[in-house]
């Protein structure tokens, strides 16, 4: 009996035989897995409902620290006006602060005795005391900085009942509404 060509078979073939046998016996083998049988007694597939979402309470953000805000003072040394802005650092709120200020008149350290800007960093010591490191720069065309090299330390004290900040150099800042 002659076998059909292998390319004509729709199923895989299993070759049986041995080296002694002159012609192998070819037996077709199914290539697909058997399908499961559905019966009348099989229960229907039921998908459970999705879980009910639970509400997670949103944490109440802390109010800004009392040092945060815009402040104004009269410089006791020369009568100039100082505006100061204090913000909390995002990386460490309520402990580390960024301070910037402007002064409309400066001392002899500025070549024009004109306006100046201050940059500072403040670290909270306790709820009412902040250690500050600052430097003032002359606004061009003036030249100079205070202190002449590096930065200078100061301490700011917040007074809640009066809503003021007093610097160690005796300047008292009032909050700007």
Question: What is the DSSP secondary-structure string of the chain?
Answer: -PPPPGGG-SSEEEEE--TT-SS-EEEEE--SPPPPPP-TTSPPP-PPPPPPPPPPPPPPPPPPPTT-EEEEEE-TTT--EEEEEEEE-TTSTTTEEEEEEEESS--TTSTT---EEEEEEEEEEETTEEEEEEEEEEPTT---EESSSS-EEEEEEEETTTTEEEETTS-EEEE--
pLDDT band with cut points at 50, 70 and 90 for residue 139 = very high
Average pLDDT over residues 146-150: 87
The most confident of 1-10, 68-77, 145-154, by mean pLDDT: 68-77
Q: What's the domain range around 159?
A: 69-175
Whether 157 is covered by a domain: the verdict is yes
Q: Tally the residues of the chain.
A: 177
Domain tally, the chain: 1
Average pLDDT over residues 109-116: 91
pLDDT tens, position by position, 14-38: 444 444 445 555 555 555 555 555 5
pLDDT band with cut points at 50, 70 and 90 for residue 64 = confident
Whether 119 is covered by a domain: the verdict is yes
Whether 106 is covered by a domain: the verdict is yes
141 prior amide bond cis, ω within 30: yes
Whether 20 is covered by a domain: the verdict is no
Beta bridge partners of 29: 12
User: What CATH number does residue 108 fall under?
Assistant: 2.40.128
- 103 in Cβ contact with 118 (< 8 Å): yes
pLDDT band with cut points at 50, 70 and 90 for residue 73 = very high
Q: Is 127 left (phi over 0), alpha (psi -120 to 50) or beta?
A: alpha
Average pLDDT over residues 118-124: 96
Average pLDDT over residues 102-125: 93
pLDDT tens, position by position, 75-107: 998 899 999 999 999 888 889 999 999 999 988
More confident: 47 or 105: 105
pTM > 0.85:
no
3-state SS, one letter per residue, for 17-49: CCCCCCCCEEEEECCCCCCCCCCCCCCCCCCCC
Whether 59 is covered by a domain: the verdict is no
- Tokens matching residue 46: 């039921």
More confident: 57 or 79: 79
Whether 58 is covered by a domain: the verdict is no
More confident: 173 or 4: 173
Whether 115 is covered by a domain: the verdict is yes
Which of these ranges, 52-61, 117-126, 148-157, has the smallest mean pLDDT? 52-61
How high does pLDDT run on average in the chain?
Answer: 82
Whether 23 is covered by a domain: the verdict is no
Burial class (CB in 10 A: 0-12, 13-18, 19+), 132: buried
Average pLDDT over residues 49-61: 79
């Amino acid at each position: 009996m002659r076998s059909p060509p292998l390319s004509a078979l729709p199923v895989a073939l299993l070759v049986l035989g041995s080296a002694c046998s002159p012609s192998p016996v070819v037996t077709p083998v199914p290539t697909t897995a058997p399908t499961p049988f559905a019966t009348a007694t099989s229960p229907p597939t039921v998908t459970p409902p999705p879980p009910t979402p639970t509400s997670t309470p949103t944490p109440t953000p802390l109010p800004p620290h009392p040092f945060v805000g815009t402040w104004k003072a009269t410089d006791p040394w020369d009568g100039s006006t100082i505006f100061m802005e204090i913000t909390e650092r995002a990386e460490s709120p309520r402990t580390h602060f960024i301070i910037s200020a402007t002064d409309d008149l400066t001392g002899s350290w500025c070549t024009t005795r004109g306006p100046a800007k201050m940059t500072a960093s403040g670290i909270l010591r306790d709820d009412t005391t902040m250690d500050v490191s600052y430097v003032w720069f002359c606004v061009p065309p003036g030249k100079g900085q205070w202190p002449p090299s590096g930065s200078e330390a100061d301490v700011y004290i917040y007074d809640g009942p009066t809503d003021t900040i007093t610097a160690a150099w005796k300047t008292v800042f009032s909050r700007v509404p």
